[in-house]
């Protein structure tokens, strides 16, 4: 096994560990690991990421279901517009993106470069969300309420973003559940994992019809990520998750800026 392959599979384990430690964020690393360490095409990488994120989130969601922390009604209200959007995006929008998007001076923006630049921008936004999280959203909601129109709109937006970049979008879903459905923070995290699992796996179905999937590689990568979740869950007992979340946010910010620089150079 070559060094880059080893680092790529190690990255799969790290993705799971981060998910297990802080309940989200790890999926934002999946596409960079696949593209830069394992030399997977960016379009295929976003598809593989949906499967990895979906299966990993499902494992986490099942664990929270046992603790009765998942609000199924909220998950359904949010998931229906989200999975319609993510499936449609993967099935129709992503394949429709032209190979050559535009040329600026002597720089040609191809579909692969465009996807990675957009992904890097999402990484920067996600990192700022993690860094600036000061605990204000951790107040326990009193009664679960539903702002249906906003939840539906948020579901569509998150679904489209998930479809384009292949990340779970937990940094968008959790605040939406806290603010729009008035869920307590622990329930919002648990419910977001179920939403991420549903929309990511349904989005991946849209790719199965368009791409040749290397199932052997994908299952090994996903298995390592799931193993990482259990390791992260164990380490969570000894590490302050909030401090780690901010540190990880700075790491994601640096990664996002690096990807922008790499693609533009």
pLDDT digits (tens, 9 = 90+) for 221-249: 999 999 988 888 788 778 776 677 778 78
Encode pLDDT of 79-122 as tens digits. Answer: 889 888 888 888 888 888 888 888 877 788 888 888 888 888 88
Q: How far apart are CA 125 and CA 94, in angstroms?
A: 21
On whether the CB atoms of residues 18 and 26 are closer than 8 A, the answer is: yes
Encode pLDDT of 146-201 as tens digits. Answer: 677 887 888 888 888 878 876 767 767 777 787 777 788 778 878 888 888 888 88
Q: How far apart are CA 179 and CA 75, in angstroms?
A: 15
| pTM for the predicted model, two decimal places | 0.77
205 pLDDT above the threshold of 90: no
Q: How far apart are CA 152 and CA 231, in angstroms?
A: 35
pLDDT exceeding 90 applies to what percent of the chain? 14
Domain that holds residue 89: 3-264
143 pLDDT above the threshold of 70: no
127 pLDDT above the threshold of 70: yes
How many domains, the chain?
Answer: 1
Q: Give the helix, strand, coil percentages of the chain, each rounded to 5.
A: 75, 5, 20
């Amino acid at each position: 096994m070559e060094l880059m392959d080893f680092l790529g599979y190690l990255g799969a384990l790290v993705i799971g560990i981060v998910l297990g430690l802080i309940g989200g964020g790890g999926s934002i690393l999946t596409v960079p690991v696949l593209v830069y360490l394992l030399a997977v095409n960016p379009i295929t990488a976003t598809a593989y990421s949906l499967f990895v994120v979906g299966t990993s989130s499902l494992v986490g969601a099942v664990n929270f279901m046992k603790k009765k922390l998942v609000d199924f009604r909220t998950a359904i209200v949010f998931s229906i517009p989200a999975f319609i959007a993510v499936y449609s995006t993967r099935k129709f929008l992503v394949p429709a993106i032209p190979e050559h998007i535009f040329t600026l001076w002597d720089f040609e923006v191809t579909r692969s470069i465009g996807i990675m630049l957009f992904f890097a921008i999402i990484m920067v936004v996600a990192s700022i969300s993690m860094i600036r999280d000061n605990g204000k959203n951790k107040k326990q909601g009193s009664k679960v309420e539903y702002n249906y129109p906003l939840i539906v709109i948020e579901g569509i937006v998150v679904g489209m973003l998930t479809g384009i970049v292949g990340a779970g979008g937990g940094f968008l879903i959790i605040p939406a559940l806290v603010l729009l459905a008035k869920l307590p923070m622990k329930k919002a995290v648990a419910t977001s994992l179920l939403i991420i699992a549903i929309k990511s796996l349904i989005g991946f179905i849209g790719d199965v019809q368009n791409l040749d999937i290397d199932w052997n590689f994908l299952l090994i990568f996903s298995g390592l990520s799931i193993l990482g979740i259990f390791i992260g869950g164990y380490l969570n007992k000894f590490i302050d998750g909030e401090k780690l979340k901010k540190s990880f946010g700075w790491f994601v910010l640096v990664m996002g800026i690096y990807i922008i620089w790499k693609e533009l150079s």
